[in-house]
Structure formats: structure tokens, C-alpha cells
Amino acid sequence: MLFKKDIKIANELISQGYVAKYDHHIHTTYSDGSFTLIKIIELARNSRLKRIVITDHNNILACSKELLSIPKKDLGTMKVFVGSEIACKVLDQATGMYIPIELLYYGPHPEKVQSFIDEYDHSMVPQDEQLEFLIGQCEKHHLKHSENLHVPDGMFATKYLCMDLVKYPENKAFFDSTHPIVFTSPKLFFKKFCTHPCSDFYIDTTKKLPTVAEVASKAIEIGGVTILAHPCLYIYNKKEDVLSFLNFLLKTTKTHGIEVFHSSHTFEQRNYLYNFAKSNKLLIGAGTDFHSGPDTVIGFGRTDQILSLPDDHDFDWIEEIYTS
């Protein structure tokens, strides 16, 4: 079973001397994760983690309620908290158009957070409708794809189509010239192609979303904090563009920090994000963005890109938010 494979990989990493203590970005079946909260807790304990935070997409209350019902003996010495990854939008300075991004909320009062989230419509353009549009754009770019594609239940059209596109070696040159990371990570097709206003694959998903400023301000009002999730997974690729975007975000909103350590960030990206966060006295986030595995192992990140973390004190703020 997939779950047993994850445990095996985690144990192999531990036996090789890798140590993971925390994972502050995890998804369960309450959003688009493959495992229930109970399974996540079991997996995290087997990975010998000391603390985890569940951050389901636009959902915090259901998981918070379930956590309260779980006997403390099932948690062991591991601490489990619940936050949320909230979809929102921010103005892209180059195009003057909104692009979707995500803030990680950490803090108390899940009822108030869920009430705020529910004020907005986070539903997507129907998946089959997205697929039809995207296939048309693929043909415009002479990308080979299978015939009679139909989005399976529970899957995003963007990832489904990209998984098909990468089957054909002749498409690799297109990705190499645009966003090479997408060829090996089809789930990033949406973030790298479909959210860019200048892309032929652009799909506007921002109309009914809150602004990043609204989410950040609401978090403070409630007593929590927000940090920008995975800064290098949006439309900005070059270091200078990412840092320019972060400067704009931090000057115009009340966002407290950035997720420096993420399973898709390269070591180079982690290094400059860490230095940026330190120099600007920002909260530093770290998480695998775990959904299903085994490509990403809870607490460790991608097996080819271990989620190595700096000193523990960089993450003391997480516990303070939930226990103060």
C-alpha cells in the first residue's frame, strides 16, 4: 500500500542520518490530500516528527473539530495544530491584473477563520470546460496529446492534461523553453501556465477571491498570522522577480512571513529566501506541502530534495501562536 511505502521511505531516510522534526504544511482528505487526519498523524509519528500543522485548502474547521476528538495517546509526544492554506489574489505589477496566490494561516479561532473563508466563492471553472480550453491552446502550440481525454473525478484538468502531455517526448522542448520544472511536476502546470495573464493558457480564477491584504488583515484581527506559501511556485521565476514580488507584497499587506523551506524549492531558492526573511525580520515557514507521497515524504520533502532545516529557533513562533 502507498501508506506503507511512505513509512518505508521515511525509515530509510532516518537510517541514512536525515532528521526531520517539523512539517507545517500538510493536506488531508478535508481538501485534496489522500490521507485522513488519523493516517497523517500515524505517518508523522512513524517519521518521528515532533510537530505538524494541517493546512487544508480553504478549510480549517472540520479538521479542527476532528482533532479535538482524537485521544491524546494517539498523538504520543507529537504536537498537532491546524491552520489553512487560503486562496487569494494579488495585483501583478507588470500586467496590472490579479493573479492567484495562497497564504498559510496559523492561529486560533477556526470558526472565525472558516466563516471568513466561506464569504468567498473558491469554486473553479468546471474541469471539463477547462480541459476543452486547454486542449485548444495545446493545438495552437502544436503539443501532442491523447484523443478523447476526460477529467477523472477528483482530479484537476490542468494536472490531468499535463500528465498526458509529458508522455510524449516531442513536447519536452516546449517545457524546456518555458518552465522545465513542470515536465517532471505536472501539478505545477496550473501555477506556471494557467495563472499568468500573459500566457495563452491563462484561466482567470481570481474574480471571486479575497485580496491578499484582506486575508492578512483578517488573520491579525482573529489573533493569527499569515505567511506566503511557496513563493517560487507562482508566475515569477528569476530570483530578482521573486524578491521584487515579495517586497511589494510585504509593503502593501500585513503578511508576516514567507514559506522558505518547501519541497519544490531548490537549495538555491531556499538560501536566498532564508537570507531575505532574516534581513527583513520575517517569520520563516517550513513544510513539505504533503498530499499523498511517496514522491514527497512527510517531514522530509521530495526524496531527491531533502527538506533540510536550519536551527530550531527559526520555528518557535509556530508554537507560540497556538499556545499563547
- Confirm whether 198 is domain-assigned: no
**Alpha helices for the chain (secondary structure H):** 2-15, 37-46, 61-69, 72-75, 110-117, 127-140, 157-165, 172-177, 180-184, 189, 212-222, 239-252, 267-279, 316-323
Q: Which phi and psi angles does 142 have, rounded to 5°?
A: 60, 40
- Confirm whether 220 is domain-assigned: yes
Do residues 64 and 22 share a domain?
yes
Do residues 172 and 317 share a domain?
no
Q: Is 260 helix (H, G, I), strand (E, B) or coil?
A: strand
- Confirm whether 53 is domain-assigned: yes
Do residues 90 and 141 share a domain?
no
Of the candidates 49, 12, 52, 14, the one whose C-alpha atom is nearest the C-alpha of residue 33 is 52
- Confirm whether 201 is domain-assigned: no
Do residues 159 and 303 share a domain?
no
Do residues 169 and 221 share a domain?
no
Do residues 245 and 299 share a domain?
yes
pLDDT at 310: 61
Do residues 115 and 131 share a domain?
no
Give every residue of the chain whose pLDDT is below 50, as ranges: none
Do residues 146 and 259 share a domain?
no
Of the candidates 114, 101, 119, the one whose C-alpha atom is nearest the C-alpha of residue 60 is 114
Burial class of residue 145 (count of CB atoms within 10 Å of its CB; 0-12, 13-18, 19+) = middle
- Confirm whether 194 is domain-assigned: no
Q: How many CB atoms lie within 10 A of CB 86?
A: 29
- Confirm whether 161 is domain-assigned: yes
pLDDT tens digits, residue range 197-235?
999 999 999 999 999 999 999 999 999 999 999 999 999
Do residues 110 and 177 share a domain?
no
pLDDT at 177: 95
The residue type found at 110 is P
CATH (domain of 49): 3.20.20.140
Q: Specify the pTM.
A: 0.91
Which of 188, 219, 237 is the last residue in one of the domains?
188
Label residue 76 left, alpha or beta by phi (over 0 means left) and psi (-120 to 50 means alpha): left
Cα distance between residue 285 and residue 254, in whole Å? 16
Do residues 87 and 7 share a domain?
yes
The residue type found at 69 is S
Which of 136, 153, 188 is the last residue in one of the domains?
188
Do residues 119 and 85 share a domain?
yes
Do residues 163 and 224 share a domain?
no
Which of 188, 219, 241 is the last residue in one of the domains?
188
- Confirm whether 195 is domain-assigned: no
Cα distance between residue 235 and residue 137, in whole Å? 18
- Confirm whether 139 is domain-assigned: yes
- Structural domain of residue 172, as residue ranges? 127-188
Cα distance between residue 59 and residue 44, in whole Å? 21
Cα distance between residue 171 and residue 169, in whole Å? 5
Tally of domains in the chain? 2
